[in-house]
Amino acid sequence: MLPVIFVTSNEEAVQRYIDDLKQSYKLHPSCVYIIKQEKKLTIEPIREVLASTSTYTYQTYLVVIYGFDSASVVIQNSLLKTLEEESSHVQFVLVVQEESGVLPTIRSRAHIVYDKARKVLPRKSTAYHYTGLTLPEWMSMTSKISKDKSALIIDSIIHDLRVAMLEGSNQEEYTKALHTILQLRRNMIAFNLNYEHVLDQIGHIITSQHLL
């Protein structure tokens, strides 16, 4: 389960989202953990919760962490590995007011959900124009991209897909595409996959479904 970054300043919106997840996973109340501190987020309560969730790994848990964007870089870095290792049985929801307060390494591994009452973010402006391309046009465009720039354009595509998901009606298609592209990006970096092949796969997803 991909961690969710829920971007909002509205606690009622968070509660509605939590209720939906509880119903979706059919969770018992004892499997839901809420971490909420008055001041800056610290690591101790998170460790206590993770000690509980690691006891029965066959059970699905929901862990909601409020104010994750208030956590220090050290704390966020220390949780990066946990978010991946526990993802088989723990659904993390990281509640933030600004996604920019979350480390890029976590954002790239998470599904970002915006409170629908929030103002829709503008699309990113890049030197590459990939909206409305056919697959051959896409491959022609990406053939000019260097390895160093590949992660940057993938991040831009991920951002624009999230914005398009808010603007569009078929959220299921966008969610599936985002999940696949996030996994491709993660594997490209972790396993040193051929970046051109990864960009071609992303191009096939985007152009075949006309997502951008």
**Where along the chain do its domains lie?**
4-114, 135-209
Residue 120 has what pLDDT?
46
Which residues of the chain, if any, have pLDDT below 70? 116-128, 166-169
Residue 123 has what pLDDT?
52
pLDDT in tens, 105-116: 898 888 888 886
Residue 166 has what pLDDT?
67
Residues 207, 134: contact at Cβ < 8 Å? Answer: yes
Residue 205 has what pLDDT?
92
Residue 117 has what pLDDT?
58
Q: Rounding to the nearest 10 degrees, give the CA dihedral for residues 183, 131, 112, 190.
A: 20
Residue 168 has what pLDDT?
65
Choose which CATH entry (3.40.50.300, 3.30.300.10, 3.60.21.10, 2.40.160.20) describes domain 4-114.
3.40.50.300
| Residue with the two structure tokens 């001041």 | 39
DSSP string, 13-77: HHHHHHHHHHHHHT--GGGEEEE--SSS--SHHHHHHHHHHTT-TTS-EEEEETTGGGS-HHHHH
- Dihedral-angle region of residue 144 (phi above 0 means left; psi in -120 to 50 means alpha; beta otherwise): alpha
Residue 167 has what pLDDT?
66
The pTM of this model reads: 0.58
How far apart, in whole angstroms, are the C-alpha atoms of residue 111 and residue 6? Answer: 9
CA distances (Å), origin 153, targets 47, 114, 147, 192: 35, 22, 10, 17
How far apart, in whole angstroms, are the C-alpha atoms of residue 99 and residue 45? Answer: 22
Residues 118, 17: contact at Cβ < 8 Å? Answer: no
